[in-house]
Amino acid sequence: MDTDEARKESPNEIVKTPSGSLADLEQVFQSCHAYALAIRDSVPSEDDVMHLNYVDQTLRWVSSQLSSSAGGSPRQILLLLFMLQDFYELLRTYVDSMELHVERNIVEHGQIHVILEQIADQLELTYDGMERVNRYIHSVQRDIIQAGEHTSPIEKIVIGSEIWVDQLAALVLCISPRYIEELKDSVNIAIEEIKCALDSTTDGHEP
């Protein structure tokens, strides 16, 4: 998926009847879960284990909330796909580079991208909508790079993973708003940033 090559679409943003559905994302979540556990079981630091437990728990919560959700706007769904893609690749690349053992059977790497592509292909967004999603993803990527500067490889993974699951949790709460007691500050901030990034009314573009 590459929004950089997006062409200008119709002014209306819609979701077509999909050949790939959001239910298929469960396979992506399961693969991320398996990779996260493999990394957690390989680290000696109790602090890293604690953070990776948080990553796994948040990932489970996001998956369960999405499974009961009616879905979001095309911009929200595209943002979800890009977040999952980057998070999955962060985990997979580290696991492969360290040759870690993964306990569970997981979907093949290529099939993960097929699942994401099939869902993305059903979305019709304006050029502005695609650009907004792309800019936001790039901003999160920059934040992860900056936060991981001057740290070890495993610390980069822990930091990046925690940022991505906080972003996923924030997006879920944008898709299906609800009250969550003692929500992390980072999630609250991400909620406002996502709303601002995807809201075309802030600069006069079409919704």
Is residue 7 included in any domain, yes or no?
Answer: no
Largest CA distance in the chain: 53
pTM of the model: 0.86
Domain annotation covers residue 98: yes
Distance CA 151, CA 20 (A): 39
2 lies in some domain: no
Q: Which residues of 130-167 are buried (b: 16+ CB within 10 A; e: fewer)?
A: bebbbebbeebeeebeeebeeeeebbbbbbbbbbbbbb
Of the given ranges (10-24, 27-41, 123-137), which has the lowest mean pLDDT?
Answer: 10-24
d(CA 108, CA 136): 28
Give me the pLDDT at residue 24, please. Answer: 86
In a domain, 179, yes or no: yes
Encoded amino acid at 9, one letter: E
Print the domain residue range for 74. Answer: 12-202
SS3 99: coil
Q: Is position 157 within any domain?
A: yes
Counting the structural domains of the chain, the total is 1
Q: Look at residue 115 in the predicted model and tell me its pLDDT.
A: 94
pLDDT tens per residue, range 29-85: 999 999 999 999 999 999 999 999 999 999 999 999 998 776 789 999 999 999 999
* Burial of 102 from C-beta contacts in 10 A (0-12 / 13-18 / 19+): middle
Domain for residue 187, yes or no?
yes
- The reply to whether 68 falls in a domain is yes
Assess if residue 189 is contained within a domain. yes
pLDDT score for 6: 37
Q: Check whether 7 has a pLDDT greater than 70.
A: no
For 115, the token pair is 């699942």
Phi and psi at 200, nearest 5°, equal: -70, -15
For residue 10, the model assigns a pLDDT of 37
Q: What is the pLDDT of residues 163-196, one digit of tens each?
A: 999 999 999 999 998 888 889 999 999 999 999 9
Instruction: Using the predicted structure, report yes or no on whether residue 21 has a pLDDT greater than 80.
Output: no
